[in-house]
Structure 1
Amino acid sequence: MSYDYLFKYLIIGDTGVGKTCLLLQFTDKRFKPVHNLTIGAEFGNRVVTVDGRSIKFHIWDTAGQETFRSITRSFYRRAVGALLVYDITRRETFKHVASWLEDVQQQVTQNMSIILIGNKCDLVRKRAISKEEGEEFAKQHGLLFLETSARTSQNVDEAFIKTAENILEKIQNGDFDLSNESLGITIGDSRSPRGDAGGRYGTSSQLDDGCCNY
């Protein structure tokens, strides 16, 4: 499928916060509640219409274990967007967000768009981190913020779309050298005028089948 831009994304965060399930829900619209760990990284893509532009999301879901951090870092410099995920029912995953953020910011340009994601918001009775805590951390560090549920799909599309809108705004402001594909943006072959058919969300998707931790 043709597209106007290709955006390379990362999904980062501790093991078991639901990174792969978020990817699977976004690309395939399904939930797979298995608990095998991601080894290294997994990949998926989807084409979506954002603000009248056809955007191809090229997404790397990275392992959360410390053992694989060196592998994870190898993907950082090739991404323009990132979902930084914690589990709202496990405070330790929220405590580690600052470390993940510092890690990624050391590797990428300041123009990378990062959204902080509090996942598993459907587990209201098990909540350990308030929405206000997440919002405050995001505000202090200049991040976007949403709470999501990979199980119910709540705000999953919105997390990717909101970040893409931020990237498109930066493109319009001239913040990126689009000739430098190492920044995580590739110009596509259909730089069509605004108003692509198909609505806000596209339908093309692909995920290399793998396991996830909800």
Structure 2
Amino acid sequence: GDVEDEMTVSVLLDGEESTIEFHDVTDNQELLKTLSVDAYVIVFSVNNPSTFQIAKDNLNKIRNELKINKTIILVANKIDLVRKRAVPANDARKLADTHCCKYIETSVALNHQVDELLVGILRQIRLSRNKKSPQVNPGSHPKPKVKRSGALGLLDRLFSRKAKSGSTCDNLYDV
């Protein structure tokens, strides 16, 4: 519909608490163009190839048509459905690499990698805002604390598990 879904989440990272505000613009392409955002989180279900195609289309729209050069995190959700997986992890990683995105795999149903995703989103936003500032102790990433407030329904449509590191698209803690 015309009314967007929104949710806020508080994340404590490196001793500093931030509130991340999510806007679901799935059905509102006009809002995608006009909304002032720090990052995009594009989610697809690994058991549904049509959602992966929509993710591809949205990535193409953001990067190539709208020429937006903000942080984008591609999220493969429902990885708990191993036997029903229809979108290979390598395909998703290639898509993320092609569009200079980060990539993470999650399972909201199992609450797997959800906190890591939230912290990764916040770290990517902070890194993009402070590109000229040197990072203090880049090898150290303390376990962040995450507080969630608001409806988990939007979160359920968003997130879950981190992929094995290999390419830079998998590392949500570095540029």
Distance 1:208 1:162 in 2: 18
* Conservation of the 8 A alpha-carbon contact between 1:81 and 1:114: yes
Considering Cα pairs closer than 8 Å and 6+ residues apart, tell me whether 1 or 2 has the greater RCO.
1
Distance 1:169 1:205, change over 3 A: same
Matched AA of 1:207: A
Partner of 1:122: 80
Give 5+ residue unaligned stretches, structure 1: 1-37, 176-198
Distance 1:204 1:99, change over 3 A: closer
Structure number with bigger Rg: 1
Q: Does 1:86 align with 2:30?
A: no
Give the match's secondary structure for 1:206: coil
Q: How much has 1:143 moved relative to structure 2?
A: 0.5
Q: How much has 1:171 moved relative to structure 2?
A: 2.2
% same residue: 20
Q: Does 1:58 align with 2:21?
A: yes
* Residue correspondences, number: 148
Distance 2:87 2:153 in 1: 31
4+ residue runs of structure 1 moved beyond 6 angstroms? none
- Normalised TM-score (structure 1): 0.59
Give 5+ residue unaligned stretches, structure 2: 134-142, 159-175
- Normalised TM-score (structure 2): 0.71
Distance 2:152 2:51 in 1: 26
Distance 1:125 1:94 in 2: 17
Distance 1:213 1:57, change over 3 A: closer
Q: Does 1:201 align with 2:145?
A: yes
Matched AA of 1:61: D
Distance 1:140 1:104, change over 3 A: closer
What RMSD, in angstroms, separates the aligned Cα atoms of the two structures? 2.8
Distance 2:114 2:23 in 1: 16
